[in-house]
Amino acid sequence: MTTASSASQSLSERLDFIGIGQADRDALREARPTIAASLDGALDAFYAKATRNPETARFFSGKAHADSAKARQVRHWDRLAEGKFDQDYVSAVTAIGMTHARLGLEPRWYIGGYALIIEGIIHAVVEKHLGGRFQRKKSKQLSTEIAAVAKAAFLDMDFAISVYLDALQEERKRSEDQRAALAAEQVAALGALEQALKLLSGGDLTAAVNTGLASQFAPMRDHFNSAVSTLDGTISAIVGAAEQTADNAAELSRATDDTARRTEKQAAALEETAAALEELTTTARSAAARTEEARRIVVTATSEAQRSGEVVREAISAMSAIEESSRRITQIIGVIDQISFQTNLLALNAGVEAARAGEAGKGFAVVAQEVRDLAQKSAEAAREIKGLIDKSFADVLTGVSLVNRTGEALKSIGDHVVSINGHIDAISGSAREQATGLSEINSAVNNMDQITQQNAAMVEETNAATQELLRISQTMRELTGRFVISTQESQQSRHRYRTA
């Protein structure tokens, strides 16, 4: 509801309660000339008293000021006499009330003035209606009685309103006293809080409100102290954490530096290892190829050894045939030797017989001698041949033995070559597997080299991040160093973080 509508509703309620209806409005308009005529004398009487009374005279600066106020009163009473209690009336009455409030005019002087004005209006109205010669005395008595009743009512209303206002004043004074006391308590509380906040703004987290405050400010003090205590504990923990973080960041920075250096060395070592493995892989491939070639040679040697075995077996068979032939030749030589012996014996017998024959047997004796010489030569040749055959037979036996041993050696060599071939096959397979494994290892080492290079880059980034963390930790330590915290809590927090 707006102010204008609220004022209109208030005016309507007042008119209804007082009982001013249309008849009263008509009566006012009927009495308007009489009221206007009576205002001059009534207002003169009022302002004469008002300018003489010390309490009211101070509101007027002079006669001109009083005359101006009188003119405004005439216009206001003329508006009342019109009986138009509308918004213009409300605005006018509001302006008058605001002026009285601004001037500090108490209601009793305003009510007293209305009593004097109403007295004059009553005399004028009664005299108008009872102004005849025979009723003059009666009208005077009637107007005096009505004026007395009205003034008594105004007096009673003045005192009742004064008592009401005095009670309001006392209540207001009590309220003002309470407000002043509350303001003093509030000033004291705010002063203590301001002092604590001043210390707190300077970073002193041990600041607390320890002065005695009014009961209504005690919870605020307790909450503030609790909040500061909690903040002190929190900042103390943060200080400990900041110090621990700074120490850890420094250690981490050193560790990352060491890790970076070791990673660089590891990357260089891996790079060298990769190069060495590359060479080893090439060598392994070459060794695998050579092992394969050796395997093929061993296969060929195995075939040749097998063929040599066959040749040795054939040689053993030939030696056996030669041995058999030597035995037969020996037997034949034995026969020849026997023949030579018999021939020699026959030649000897022939010589004996030729000697017995004398001259006739001389020619036969010569032949017998030749035959004997030939038999002796044959026997000697047979003996030589037998010696040669025996020696040849012994050599053949030796050759057979050597050939047998050679066959056994070649067989053993063949077996060993076969075994070597198996080992060479195994070595060749192992060499291929080693070459393949080395290739995979080389690939893995190359991947490790790449990963190590990436790790080195990541370690450099981590080192940079660690340096930044160290800088932030140092900044945090500097920032937390601005706070003054309780020593005991600080020590406890540091102990907690160092033993955590």
pTM for this predicted structure = 0.38
Contact criterion met (CB below 8 Å) for 393 and 376? no
- Please report which confidence band the pLDDT of residue 276 belongs to, taking 50, 70 and 90 as the band edges: confident
Residue 16 CA to residue 293 CA, distance in Å, equals 136
H or E segment and range at residue 71: helix 63-82
Contact criterion met (CB below 8 Å) for 300 and 367? no
Report, as an integer, the average pLDDT of 359-368: 72
| Mean pLDDT across the chain | 75
Here the tokens at position 71 are: 């003119």
pLDDT in tens, 71-106: 888 888 888 888 888 888 788 888 887 877 777 777
- Please report which confidence band the pLDDT of residue 500 belongs to, taking 50, 70 and 90 as the band edges: very low
pLDDT in tens, 151-181: 776 676 766 777 777 787 788 888 888 888 8
Here the tokens at position 81 are: 């006499």
Residue 323 CB neighbours (<10 A): 16
- Please report which confidence band the pLDDT of residue 492 belongs to, taking 50, 70 and 90 as the band edges: very low
pLDDT in tens, 107-139: 777 788 788 888 888 888 887 777 666 566 777
Dihedral of the alpha carbons of 46, 48, 51, 52, in degrees to the nearest 10:
-110
- For position 338, what pLDDT does the model report? 79
Does the pLDDT at position 491 exceed 70?
A: no
Q: 105: number of CA atoms within 13 Å, CB side? A: 19
pLDDT in tens, 376-425: 777 777 777 777 777 776 777 777 677 677 767 767 776 776 777 777 77
DSSP state of 358: G
pLDDT in tens, 434-469: 767 767 777 777 777 777 777 777 777 777 877 787
* Total count of residues recorded for the chain: 500
Phi then psi for residue 204, to 5 deg, are -85, 100
| Inter-CA distances, 251 with 254, 259, 469, Å | 5, 12, 11
pLDDT in tens, 324-343: 777 777 778 777 777 777 77
- For position 498, what pLDDT does the model report? 44
- For position 364, what pLDDT does the model report? 67
Residues 6+ apart with CB under 8 A from 122: 143, 146, 147, 150
- The H helix count followed by the E strand count for the chain is 10, 0
* Residue of 123, 105, 111 lying closest to 151 (CA atoms): 111
Here the tokens at position 332 are: 């034949």
Report, as an integer, the average pLDDT of 301-313: 72
- Residue percentage of the chain with pLDDT more than 90: 0
> Which residues, in sequence order, are bridge partners of residue 204?
484
- Please report which confidence band the pLDDT of residue 1 belongs to, taking 50, 70 and 90 as the band edges: low
Residue 61 CA to residue 55 CA, distance in Å, equals 13
- For position 312, what pLDDT does the model report? 67
